[in-house]
Amino acid sequence: WLQSSLSVVRSLCVRMSNKEKSVHVGEECFQQHGPTLMFSNIKYCIQERVGLLCKKGPEKVILKDISGILKPGMNAIMGPTGSGKTSLLDVIAGRKDPAGLRHGTVFVDGRPVTNDLRLTSAYVVQDDVLMGTLSVRENLLFSANLRLDPKNHSSADKQSRVENILEELGLTECANTKIGTDFIRGVSGGERKRCSIGMELITAPSLLFLDEPTTGLDAYTANCIISLLHKLSRNGKTVIFSIHQPRYSIFEQFDQLTLMHKGDVVYAGKADKALEYFSLLGYQIKAFNNPADFFLDIINGEAESTLELPATGKPHETLITIVVCVLVLLELICATDAYTNVTRVPGPRRRESEREAVLNLLRTPQTSYAQWALTVFFALLVGLIYYQIPLTLPEGLQNRSGAFFFLVINVVFSNLGAVELFIKERSVFIHENANGYYRTSVYFLSKIGADLLPNRIVPNIFFSAISYYMMGLKPAFLSFLCFTLTMTLTSIGAVSVAFMVSATVNSLAMANLLVALPFVIMMVFGGFLVNLNNMLSWLSWLEWISIFKYGMNAGEYNSFEMLFSYLLNLYFIPTLTQILWETKSGEMFLQGQGIDYSRWGFWQNQVALIGISSVCLVVAYIQLRRIKRWK
């Protein structure tokens, strides 16, 4: 223990004596200094859940009282998988749920940070969250429009910022190329990552956090990204990132290195001194070995020390803590007031950003083509099956009620795809909402608006027009309008149920299951498959929440009732037989079904459909608000 302690103290002395020299060497290449970030005694715990009922289990400590300094330049947090790199990054960047933080403080240039570090710093997540249908330039403009205050930044200013970032990140050539989606081939992985970084640089932050920026990139592209970060770090940005196993050309660009193992800091200091430090502890690197691999071998216990280390490792840990504390103290003493230089992003401009968010989100095309094709196909199918329904009994009545059941099934089940809406873009929403791009209400309304009009309302008008006139229902235009309204409200009711499920769960498989179940129950209690008058009383309440019931009742009422027959006479002069048939037989049929035979009997169904839709949409909004922004 004494030997290893002496080695560490010696290493500290070497580092301290080199400090002056390295600062000067460093200063030569730094054109501007970023802020210094310190974290002290961070302890972070996760409440584990056990069993099917997710009962509270034991608390798991994932960061164990750790401290360190992250200086202007390139700060790498390295360690094997599960060592706590991302957790540390998230805690110091203010992205991790504060409920798990037992104690510890983060300082930026000597001042304890508050919650608004999230708005003053930039955080690039591991999985790029970009809008695939927009080009690189449009994505950057999107970020600029939402995050820069129009009082201080004119459109020309925003445009010039975007152009500067494109230039700085080497994205000029692909500026007009779309990012790409599952269906569109877009920019390369490296360009994507650079665009993600650019989105965050728009506010000119001086603290830049990145979660594993090289993951998923080939060696050359990874090197380019790190070189880019290195360049940024020389221009007044403190770059802090987690990284898994960098190759040597990447490792040599690090200024500071924090090595982690099982939630503990094993080494925190200059990257180029780490080898020296471990050699003092008896670990010798083999020729041609990559230092980054060597450090991971040490952490994983695959490298052997020539010195006998304490079995528990505790004295060593204590010493490391003392060393880190001394460094923290020294830094605190030397800390400049540079934090005032941290660019504070103005709070997101509510009204402006809302307008921009709506506009930009509306520009994201939905997968409407399939919806439209499906709508026309089913309209033609219904039209052909029930082509010109006769007025003779009993087929006239049977076909009409069968047709409405089939119509409502089509309208309801064609909305199953809507469960994707809030699941597919959940990570984008969490990232943008946490970074203050827009409020939840803005996101919700723009997504709903962008979906309802092109995917539900307009296709339903076509669906109604094709099927209605092919089936040969009442030719009165007002009757057709009532039919279209019924089908549209039925569709909105069904899609609202899908939105509610979509905002509640985060797995598509689960969502499909949860949305199909209520639809099937609603179908059974719709009144076509079972006569609702003879139903078990304790089950019969389910009919009141059945979209099928309201859709079919309103449709049948509209088809059989003579409410508009005077208009029918007025405009279309139908045959007397038709009027008589539709009023007499229809009346009897409606009575048999227990459908209210009054004017309110028609409108109460529309009110009920609006009610169901409103409740589901409100619940969907509440569920969206409840989504955890924290990691």
CB of residue 214 to ligand ATP, shortest distance in Å: 12
Q: What does the radius of gyration of the chain's CA atoms come to, in whole angstroms? A: 33
Q: Does 62 bind ligand ATP (CB under 6 A)?
A: yes
Q: Does 246 bind ligand ATP (CB under 6 A)?
A: no
Determine the Cα–Cα distance for residues 339 and 317; give it in Å rounded to an integer.
Answer: 31
Nearer to ligand ATP, 44 or 404 (CB): 44
Please tell me whether residue 368 adopts helix, strand or coil conformation: helix
Retrieve residue 87's tokens.
Answer: 């957790």
Nearer to ligand ATP, 89 or 358 (CB): 89
Q: Does 124 bind ligand ATP (CB under 6 A)?
A: no
CB of residue 49 to ligand ATP, shortest distance in Å: 9
Determine the Cα–Cα distance for residues 555 and 222; give it in Å rounded to an integer.
Answer: 61
Q: Does 213 bind ligand ATP (CB under 6 A)?
A: no
Q: Does 244 bind ligand ATP (CB under 6 A)?
A: yes
Cβ neighbours, 10 Å, residue 325: 13
Cβ neighbours, 10 Å, residue 583: 15
Strand-pair partners of 59: 47
Nearer to ligand ATP, 85 or 147 (CB): 85
CB of residue 283 to ligand ATP, shortest distance in Å: 21
Structure letter (DSSP) for residue 464? H
Determine the Cα–Cα distance for residues 535 and 521; give it in Å rounded to an integer.
Answer: 14
Nearer to ligand ATP, 57 or 449 (CB): 57
Nearer to ligand ATP, 244 or 439 (CB): 244
CB of residue 217 to ligand ATP, shortest distance in Å: 15
Nearer to ligand ATP, 87 or 221 (CB): 87
CB of residue 591 to ligand ATP, shortest distance in Å: 60
CB of residue 245 to ligand ATP, shortest distance in Å: 9
Element (H, E) at 69: strand 55-70
CB of residue 58 to ligand ATP, shortest distance in Å: 12
Cβ neighbours, 10 Å, residue 373: 11
Nearer to ligand ATP, 84 or 586 (CB): 84
Determine the Cα–Cα distance for residues 278 and 289; give it in Å rounded to an integer.
Answer: 14
Retrieve residue 511's tokens.
Answer: 């969502």
- Kindly write out the interface string for residues 30-49 of this chain, putting x where it contacts ligand ATP by CB under 6 A and - elsewhere: ----------------x---
Q: Judged by CB under 6 A, how many residues of this single chain contact ligand ATP?
A: 12
Nearer to ligand ATP, 241 or 519 (CB): 241
Retrieve residue 609's tokens.
Answer: 């459909």
The closest alpha carbon to 123, from 68, 205, 44, 217, belongs to 205
440 close to 621: Cβ distance less than 8 angstroms = yes
Residues 72-91 that bind ligand ATP (CB under 6 A): 79, 81-87
571 close to 476: Cβ distance less than 8 angstroms = yes
Residues that bind ligand ATP (CB under 6 A): 46, 62, 79, 81-87, 242, 244
